Structure 1
Amino acid sequence: MIPQTAMNENIVVGVDIGTTKVCAVVAGKDDLDRVNILGVGMAPSDGLNRGVVVNIDRTVAAVREAVEEAERAAGVEVQNVVVGIAGDHVQSFQTRGVVTINANEITQNDVQRLLEDTTHVALPADREILHVIPQEFIVDGQDGVADPVGMSGVRLEADVHIITGLVSAAKNIYRCIEKAGFRVSDLVLEPLASSFSVLHEDEKEVGVALIDIGGGTTDIAVFEDHTIRHTAVIAVAGDKVTDDIRKGLGVMRDQAEQLKRQFGVALAGEADSDEKIEIPGIGGRDEKTIGRDALAQIIQPRLEEILEIAAMEIKRSGYGRHLGVGAVLTGGGSLVPYTDELAAEVLGMEARVGRPMGLSGGLVEEVSDPKFSTGVGLVLYGMRPDIIGGTTLSEEVRAHQNGQAGGETLMARIANRMKAWFDEL
């Protein structure tokens, strides 16, 4: 097969750099606009801590291994990648901007001016804006406007959701991708990416909370009326469950992870106390035997803690009572049986486990697992940046990199700052 280059606009590569694994997904669009998964690659990752790069070389090696595996499966040569960012340094807030309209008709330039106005907020020097997501527009006091372009009016306002992250954390992700031999075409908040692959549009309309339980971080995104209303990243996740098993049973980390995956359940009441598990001895000691319920009694309290912190974030968003369809759990941490039932109990709302969807062909079965939610979401976003809802940083980043950015708009300026990061690498 002649290698196709991933510069082809129909091929998008998503790289999810996680605390426990790096996942690369290569996807292509067919003539009917359907998304086909062409290749998947995964590599163990130990260069991150709580979602933030702490060892460049290890992360670079994991990225290279995962992308090369996906390249081989897809038969393409990867150059540009869409990469996710997470970590408990990510913060979000709501703000409002207002501009006056010179002509009587609102244009795209007016919307750009307005979005620029909303970003005139005092940010510490070490933080950068990652996404600017319009919630709703208000024209001459009339609220609830989804797209004001073409409307008549003299005063345009908007409520926007601004997501910020540490400059150093973003730079280190760029540096890892560059050192691995690829270019970043886009940087996307991971809970946003996951939402594209596991949430139905009607869930986003009625109201839903996405809880992505990864290895190092648990990512939360709250949606209502098709719009993201709140985002948060908390630094308690699946690794803590593994640590508790390691300490509680006196086993090595790899053994604790295996026990969690093979025998773990999230509800102690659902574990069979008669079922025995062999625990290998350490340093020549004899094997031990425990009941499966004893393992569940270690796992359940930590998962409860993760879900309780998530519940606090959902409450803090102010949309807790608006979530008509409840919560969707995804990420590797949601694979522990009965996690959805425990979540329904802790959160006081319905909960289901979300798996990637919206795919037509290729390696669909291989990626229909919650641990691939972010990777698949990144490629879905890369193909349709507009699904984020409104004008975002990323569209202009792409335009800027293609040399198409006209005028020094807000997004172009953020793109220029990002380009400056490249130059410093």
Structure 2
Amino acid sequence: MQERVIVGIDVGTTKICVLVGELDRDGKLNIVGVGTCPSQGLRRGVVVNIEETVTSIAAALDRAERLSGKKITSAYVGIAGSHITSENSKGFVAISPKNRDIEQNDISRAFEVARAIAIPANRELIHVIPRGYVVDGQEGIKNPIGMSGFRLEVEAHIITGSVSSMHNLIKCVHKAHVEIEDLVLEPLASGDAVLEEGETDLGVALVDIGGGTTDVAVYTDGAIWHTIVLPVGGNLITSDIAIGLRLPVGVAEELKITYGHCDPSTIDEDDMIDLSQFMPDCDDLVPRKLLAEIIQARVDEIFSMVHEEIKKSGYDGLLPAGIVITGGTAELPGILELAGQILDLPARIGSPLGLHGLSDSINRPAFSTAVGLLLWGLSNTSLLMEEEEPLEADIDSNLVSRFGRWLRAFIP
């Protein structure tokens, strides 16, 4: 595949989305291919059936290849699921007395110290992300290279996942004949796509509500501080509708998309939904207000869980930029107002920013993660073009060899 082509694969619970981006001469990323397919074989962001997942990925890849006219051989792949955990860690190193100027090697050594935390055998590093640096007690430093000092400290956000869940996702992508450039945590990708620089500096919470999971990422001082993946999402809303109204799941999903609303108070008592448009043999009527009440109850629960996570981050009441809601469920009418009431924060809907090419078809919250994966790839491509060493931990499909490299770094 051409060097100037970047591919992102969002392996979601309800849909697989493949985006193909191409860099023009000005370094601008243009979307030249989109492929989506209903997702089979995943539950709450985790692979539960490899063959079904491979079939879904392959179908989405085929559609993206047909539209873009390009053969996809490698991609940046999103990962989520309740198995994801994160923590913040610090690493300290002394600067060589021969040369007090901080070099890239000093930063790399500090990162090795920060990432040397106790990780259970059934978990593996996904990202080690720099939050900031401290040189001789001076905080708030974003890039210490070239500065003089005696001691360098790095604060890193470390994200890990279940080895088995990661292996299964990697296996599915490989079976679809695609190599993985990098595994990227989905809320980080979504954040790249929808958050503005000023928001991350002030303090903002990103809430990406997908089909099977709700991804939460708290940013402050321009960097990530807290990430968590909650095992609830839009599919539970659909399930509630199916149970509450005694309807097939497919019909419940159609009702949610077509007539769903998060605020029953805005709907008239006599506003009825004719089910015959979804089931020809059924002439029943469903009160739209009842549908909204079912949706409101579940969305209320989701945002209550998000509120608890923001409290755990220690930044409850300290997010001036408020909350940015994205993901497919963010397209539900009334969700913005409900989120603002529950979280007591300013809120907005996040759609991908600065798109070019096929932007009309994907400029929606449902495509935030896929667009973010392209932007992540663009950032990595820029780093490689500048011949700079990336600061984030590389994800590798061969986890054994990766551990070997880590071990050799500490053994002379």
Q: TM-score, normalised by structure 1?
A: 0.89
Q: How does 1:102-251 map to 2 (within 5 A)?
A: 102=96, 103-251=99-247
Cα deviation 1:51-86 (Å, max 9, x = unaligned): 000000010011011011011111111100100000
Partner of 1:380: 375
Asked if 1:355 is matched to 2:334, the reply is no
Q: Match for 1:42 among 36, 39, 57?
A: 36
- Name the aligned partner's letter for residue 156 of structure 2: V
Partner of 1:392: 392
Cα deviation 1:158-200 (Å, max 9, x = unaligned): 2111001011111111100110111111100000000111111
- Name the aligned partner's letter for residue 373 of structure 1: S
- Name the aligned partner's letter for residue 235 of structure 1: P
Asked if 1:303 is matched to 2:292, the reply is no
Give me the whole-angstrom Cα distance separating, in 2, the residues matched to 1:320 and 1:11. Answer: 41
- Name the aligned partner's letter for residue 367 of structure 1: I
Asked if 1:73 is matched to 2:67, the reply is yes
Say which SS state the counterpart of residue 233 (structure 1) adopts: strand
- Name the aligned partner's letter for residue 145 of structure 2: V
Deviation at 1:282, TM superposition (A): 11
Partner of 1:272: 268
Question: Do the aligned residues in 1 keep the contact of 2:4 with 2:23 (CA within 8 Å)?
Answer: yes
Give me the whole-angstrom Cα distance separating, in 2, the residues matched to 1:256 and 1:31. Answer: 47
Give me the whole-angstrom Cα distance separating, in 1, the residues matched to 2:68 and 2:207. Answer: 30
Question: Do the aligned residues in 2 keep the contact of 1:104 with 1:154 (CA within 8 Å)?
Answer: yes
Asked if 1:84 is matched to 2:78, the reply is yes
Partner of 2:24: 30
Q: Match for 1:364 among 336, 355, 359?
A: 359
Q: Which runs of 5+ in 2 are unaligned?
A: 384-389, 407-412
Give me the whole-angstrom Cα distance separating, in 2, the residues matched to 1:293 and 1:179. Answer: 46
- Are residues 254 and 113 of structure 1, via their aligned partners in 2, closer, same or farther at CA, if it must alter by over 3 Å? same
Give me the whole-angstrom Cα distance separating, in 2, the residues matched to 1:134 and 1:414. Answer: 21
Give me the whole-angstrom Cα distance separating, in 2, the residues matched to 1:166 and 1:357. Answer: 32
Cα deviation 1:102-161 (Å, max 9, x = unaligned): 131211111111100011211110001110111111111111111111111111112111
Say which SS state the counterpart of residue 195 (structure 1) adopts: helix
Q: How does 1:332-347 map to 2 (within 5 A)?
A: 332-347=328-343
Q: Which runs of 5+ in 1 are unaligned?
A: 402-411, 418-425
- Name the aligned partner's letter for residue 73 of structure 2: Q
Identity value in percent: 44
Deviation at 1:271, TM superposition (A): 2.0
Cα deviation 1:29-55 (Å, max 9, x = unaligned): 111111111010100012111100000
- Name the aligned partner's letter for residue 292 of structure 2: A
How many residue pairs were aligned? 396
- Are residues 214 and 64 of structure 1, via their aligned partners in 2, closer, same or farther at CA, if it must alter by over 3 Å? same
Question: Do the aligned residues in 1 keep the contact of 2:133 with 2:143 (CA within 8 Å)?
Answer: yes
Question: Do the aligned residues in 1 keep the contact of 2:123 with 2:161 (CA within 8 Å)?
Answer: yes
Question: Do the aligned residues in 1 keep the contact of 2:251 with 2:278 (CA within 8 Å)?
Answer: no
Question: Do the aligned residues in 2 keep the contact of 1:272 with 1:291 (CA within 8 Å)?
Answer: no
Deviation at 1:321, TM superposition (A): 2.4
Deviation at 1:313, TM superposition (A): 0.6
Deviation at 1:201, TM superposition (A): 1.2
Say which SS state the counterpart of residue 77 (structure 1) adopts: coil
Give me the whole-angstrom Cα distance separating, in 1, the residues matched to 2:358 and 2:323. Answer: 27
Give me the whole-angstrom Cα distance separating, in 2, the residues matched to 1:326 and 1:282. Answer: 39
- Are residues 153 and 283 of structure 1, via their aligned partners in 2, closer, same or farther at CA, if it must alter by over 3 Å? closer
